[in-house]
């Protein structure tokens, strides 16, 4: 289950959303005020042009005494100056809006990325890859567009309409009244269809997220291989096509609703000038110049109205995007480790040999620890429970047990990948509730290699490592020869998730990377499972021989011939059933470890 608040339906943004959006922009209020001023200046300058048109008609061309060419030239010069000023103001406004939009979106993106990085691993086990991608890239792009284009569009629409209406009223209050009489009707139609468009946009956004989830999962190396192996390529294509067609249909519907508004508006737009002409015919003292200026202003009145309608729709769908982003920002990340924890009392050793209290760098103490995966049913037993172990510094411990007995879970608790849901795990008296880089490292069965070279991947653990360091750890994991045989040696690329290497090679590179981290504690969770048995025991023996005081906890299924361990821990059903030296446990012929060794060696 996801540890997150349920998201509200996308068609009705939560009441807090608008307030949160406003808060996001509060730090930029100075820039936003400047944008408003620039937009007002832009609208005012634009409104000046029709007034110049009136002067052209009434004084320069058809004034008393015939055409006045010097005046016409002056007006043309003024119009050019106004046009330049409009350009400059528009540039400034665009620059400021783009800056605010980019800052806000950059802030949201980085905060979201940071928040997701700190989420418990169970979140990534349940959340779909495409969903994260869709929110981090798709929704933020929609917000960016809304802030950069939509918001200034709305402001300039409002100021443009107000200024145009004001100029019309100044020219002739009576004609202005006639020209504005249809405006409320236009707004009504638009607001109705705006809501329909908003719903369509929310549904489209969900379809888009579904589409990117399919792409992320099914067009990965593993997804494509699976589909080929099982002959399901056509089914996959059909599933994608169905979702894509849904999106396409939604797109057509949205286009039709938008066009319907435009068409209705167009009728009003064509009709209104004639209403004005009729009114002008019935009113005394309307000059041709006033009428010409009026016609231009009318266009300036209705065009911004369309802009507002369009913008309101965009903004309402951007609210949906904001909400999906906030939904991720509200996720509860794993708590950060305490800066200075209380020292832990020494643990009671679990079943097994009595040793002197473990101390020193890398001593592990597991006290009554347990773990229940989030979402597991209450009545199910926890994956791990009541585990108490003292693992002395510099020792080598083998963890064995049947599949599903909790070995990996124990390894994850020691590595701090999950905080225990009961009891505690500590290193040198300090509780482990989160990964401790530099102190504990884990190498897993399914290692993750990043795009880049072998050397890049190794140096992820120790950016300052020299070539000699890389060679040293790669010799221990018996991968050095193989790397030098690659076309570019340590600079050879490993491909997506290391796909250009074999499974065993990937594991050995990852194990070398873990060794390079040089931590006092190393957990190996079936980290050599893809190797042939001979190489595996060679690698394991070499890792143990060169551990130089490092505490090593090794989880493996193939332990039959492994002898270099101080202690063996056997898990069954989520708890420790045996804990002792190898020879002690072998002595108990009915014990789990002893039976498993016999099963493997046939002895």
Ligand X SMILES: Nc1ncnc2c1ncn2[C@@H]1O[C@H](COP(=O)(O)OP(=O)(O)OP(=O)(O)O)[C@@H](O)[C@H]1O
- Give residues in contact with ligand X (CB under 6 A): 122, 125, 373, 376, 383, 401, 403-409
d(CA 130, CA 171): 57
Nearer to ligand X, 85 or 376 (CB): 376
Nearer to ligand X, 143 or 523 (CB): 523
What is the closest distance, in whole angstroms, from the C-beta atom of residue 429 to ligand X in the complex? Answer: 26
What is the closest distance, in whole angstroms, from the C-beta atom of residue 373 to ligand X in the complex? Answer: 3
Q: Judge residue 245's burial from the number of C-beta atoms within 10 Å of its C-beta, 0-12 exposed, 13-18 middle, 19 or more buried.
A: exposed
Nearer to ligand X, 362 or 401 (CB): 401
Report which DSSP code applies to 9: P
Query: Which residues fall within 8 angstroms of residue 242, CB to CB, at 6 or more apart?
Result: none
What is the closest distance, in whole angstroms, from the C-beta atom of residue 468 to ligand X in the complex? Answer: 35
What is the closest distance, in whole angstroms, from the C-beta atom of residue 380 to ligand X in the complex? Answer: 8
Nearer to ligand X, 407 or 433 (CB): 407
What is the closest distance, in whole angstroms, from the C-beta atom of residue 122 to ligand X in the complex? Answer: 6
Q: Which residue has the tokens 């594991």?
A: 507
Nearer to ligand X, 13 or 401 (CB): 401
Strand 396-400 to 567-572 pairing: parallel
Q: Across-strand partners of 367?
A: 424
Straight-line distance from the first to the last Cα atom of the chain, in angstroms, rounded to the nearest whole number: 45
Query: Which residues fall within 8 angstroms of residue 163, CB to CB, at 6 or more apart?
Result: 40, 43, 44, 46, 47, 300
Which CA distances in Å does 585 have to 353, 355, 357, 404?
Answer: 11, 16, 22, 21
What is the closest distance, in whole angstroms, from the C-beta atom of residue 512 to ligand X in the complex? Answer: 22
What is the closest distance, in whole angstroms, from the C-beta atom of residue 125 to ligand X in the complex? Answer: 5
Which CA distances in Å does 230 have to 194, 242, 460, 551?
Answer: 46, 21, 36, 44
Nearer to ligand X, 388 or 409 (CB): 409
Which CA distances in Å does 41 have to 101, 104, 311, 378?
Answer: 21, 25, 20, 65
What is the closest distance, in whole angstroms, from the C-beta atom of residue 443 to ligand X in the complex? Answer: 14
d(CA 522, CA 538): 18
Nearer to ligand X, 125 or 499 (CB): 125
Report which DSSP code applies to 460: T
Nearer to ligand X, 254 or 331 (CB): 331
d(CA 399, CA 407): 7
């Amino acid at each position: 289950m996801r540890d997150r608040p349920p998201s509200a339906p996308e068609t009705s943004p939560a009441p807090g959303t608008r307030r949160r959006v406003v808060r996001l922009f509060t730090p930029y209020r100075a820039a936003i005020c400047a944008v408003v001023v620039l937009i007002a200046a832009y609208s005012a300058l634009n409104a000046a042009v029709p007034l110049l048109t009136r002067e052209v008609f009434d004084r320069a061309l058809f004034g008393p005494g015939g055409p006045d060419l010097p005046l016409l030239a002056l007006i043309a010069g003024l119009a050019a100056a106004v046009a330049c000023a409009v350009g400059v103001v528009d540039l400034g406004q665009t620059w400021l809006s783009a800056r605010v939009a980019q800052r806000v979106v950059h802030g949201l993106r980085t905060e979201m990325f940071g928040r997701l990085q700190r989420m418990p691993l169970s979140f990534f086990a349940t959340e779909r890859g495409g969903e994260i991608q869709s929110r981090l890239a798709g929704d933020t792009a929609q917000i960016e567009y809304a802030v950069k284009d939509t918001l200034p569009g709305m402001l300039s629409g409002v100021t443009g309409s107000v200024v145009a209406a004001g100029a019309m009223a100044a020219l002739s209050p009576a004609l202005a009244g006639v020209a504005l009489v249809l405006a409320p009707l236009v707004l009504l139609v638009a607001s109705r269809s705006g809501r329909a468009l908003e719903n369509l946009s929310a549904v489209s956004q969900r379809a888009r997220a579904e589409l990117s989830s399919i792409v992320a999962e099914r067009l990965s190396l593993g997804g494509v291989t699976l589909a080929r192996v099982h002959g399901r390529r056509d089914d996959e294509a059909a599933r994608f096509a169905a979702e894509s067609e849904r999106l396409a249909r939604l797109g057509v519907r949205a286009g039709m609703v938008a066009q319907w508004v435009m068409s209705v508006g167009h009728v009003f737009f064509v009709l209104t000038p004639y209403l004005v002409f009729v009114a002008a015919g019935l009113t005394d003292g309307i000059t041709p110049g006033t009428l010409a200026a009026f016609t231009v202003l009318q266009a300036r009145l209705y065009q911004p109205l369309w802009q507002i309608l369009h913008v309101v729709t965009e903004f309402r769908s951007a609210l949906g995007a904001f909400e999906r982003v906030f939904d991720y920002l509200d996720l509860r990340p794993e708590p950060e480790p305490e800066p200075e924890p209380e020292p832990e009392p020494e643990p009671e050793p679990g079943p097994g040999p009595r040793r002197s209290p473990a101390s020193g760098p890398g001593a592990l103490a597991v006290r009554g620890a347990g773990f229940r995966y989030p979402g597991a049913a209450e009545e199910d037993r926890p994956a791990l429970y009541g585990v108490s172990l003292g693992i002395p510094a510099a020792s080598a411990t083998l963890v064995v047990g049947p599949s599903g007995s909790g070995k990996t879970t124990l390894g994850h608790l020691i590595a701090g990948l999950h905080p225990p849901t009961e009891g505690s795990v500590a290193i040198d008296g300090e509780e482990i509730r989160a990964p401790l880089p530099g102190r504990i490292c884990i190498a897993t069965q399914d290692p993750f290699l990043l795009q880049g070279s072998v050397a890049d991947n190794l140096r992820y653990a120790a950016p300052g490592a020299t070539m000699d360091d890389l060679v040293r750890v790669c010799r221990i994991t018996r991968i050095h020869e193989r790397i030098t045989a690659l076309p570019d040696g340590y600079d050879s690329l490993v491909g997506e998730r290391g796909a250009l290497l074999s499974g065993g090679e990937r594991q050995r590179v990852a194990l070398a990377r873990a060794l390079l981290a040089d931590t006092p504690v190393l957990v190996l969770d079936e980290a050599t499972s893809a190797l042939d048995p001979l190489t595996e025991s060679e690698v394991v023996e070499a890792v143990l021989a060169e551990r130089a005081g490092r505490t090593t906890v090794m989880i493996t299924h193939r332990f039959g011939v492994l002898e270099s361990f101080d202690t063996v821990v056997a898990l069954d059903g989520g708890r420790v059933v045996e804990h002792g030296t190898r020879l002690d446990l072998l002595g108990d012929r009915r014990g789990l470890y002893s039976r498993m060794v016999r099963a493997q060696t046939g002895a």
